Amino acid sequence: MADSRGRRQRPHRKSRGGCARCKLRKVKCTETRPSCASCTHRSLLCVYTSEQAQDSDARHSTEASEQQQDSPTPPYASTRSFDQLVSTESTERRLLEMRLLFHFTSFTAKYDFLTSTDEIVLKMWQYTAPSLAFEHPFLLNAIISIAALHTAKTSPERRDMAEVHRTYFNTAISQHRDAVRDLSAANAEAVCLSTVLISMPAFILLQNTEVGSYSPPLQLFRLQAGTVDLFQTALPLVPRTSEVNAIILAAPIVKAFKNDSKKDIYRVPFTNLVRWRAADEIVSAESQDAFSIALGYIGYILTAIESGQHDVIHIRRLLYSVPNNIPPAFVKRLQDNDPRALTILSYYFSLFKAVDGIWWMRGIAEREVLGIQSILPEQWQWAVAWSMEKLASFAASTHLAGIPT
pLDDT in tens, 241-266: 998 888 777 656 777 889 999 999 99
Domain boundary pick from 68, 90, 107: 68
Find the angle CA(33)-CA(210)-CA(389) to the nearest 5 degrees.
125
Q: Is residue 2 part of a domain?
A: no
Look up the pTM and report it.
0.76
Q: Is residue 404 part of a domain?
A: no
Q: How confident is the model at residue 205 (pLDDT cuts 50, 70, 90)?
A: confident
| Residue span of the structural domain in which 139 resides | 82-249
Q: Is residue 405 part of a domain?
A: no
Q: Is residue 161 part of a domain?
A: yes
Q: Is residue 53 part of a domain?
A: yes
For residues 244 and 333, membership in a common domain is answered with no
- What's the total number of domains in the chain? 3
Is residue 128 predicted with pLDDT exceeding 70?
yes
Query: In the prediction, which pLDDT does 58 show?
Result: 41
For residues 119 and 86, membership in a common domain is answered with yes
Q: Is residue 154 part of a domain?
A: yes
Any idea what the CATH number is for the domain that residue 64 is in? 4.10.240
For residues 60 and 94, membership in a common domain is answered with no
Measured distance CA(399)–CA(401) in Å, rounded: 6
For residues 163 and 58, membership in a common domain is answered with no
Q: What tens digit of pLDDT does each residue of 21-68 get?
A: 777 677 888 887 767 778 777 656 666 654 444 444 444 434 433 333
Q: How confident is the model at residue 398 (pLDDT cuts 50, 70, 90)?
A: low
Measured distance CA(182)–CA(193) in Å, rounded: 16
Name the CA dihedral angle for 259, 264, 266, 267, rounded to a multiple of 10 degrees. Answer: 120
For residues 300 and 368, membership in a common domain is answered with yes
Average pLDDT over all residues of the chain: 82
Q: Is residue 7 part of a domain?
A: no
Q: Is residue 326 part of a domain?
A: yes
Other beta carbons within 10 Å of 329: 20
Query: In the prediction, which pLDDT does 91 show?
Result: 78
For residues 266 and 245, membership in a common domain is answered with no
Q: What tens digit of pLDDT does each residue of 346-390 get?
A: 999 999 999 998 888 889 999 999 999 999 999 999 999 999 999
For residues 140 and 185, membership in a common domain is answered with yes
Q: What tens digit of pLDDT does each residue of 81-114 get?
A: 666 655 555 678 889 999 999 999 999 998 877 6
For residues 230 and 294, membership in a common domain is answered with no
For residues 242 and 337, membership in a common domain is answered with no
Domain boundary pick from 9, 44, 68: 68
Measured distance CA(44)–CA(51) in Å, rounded: 21
For residues 169 and 40, membership in a common domain is answered with no
Domain boundary pick from 216, 249, 282: 249
Q: What tens digit of pLDDT does each residue of 151-172 get?
A: 999 998 998 999 999 999 999 9
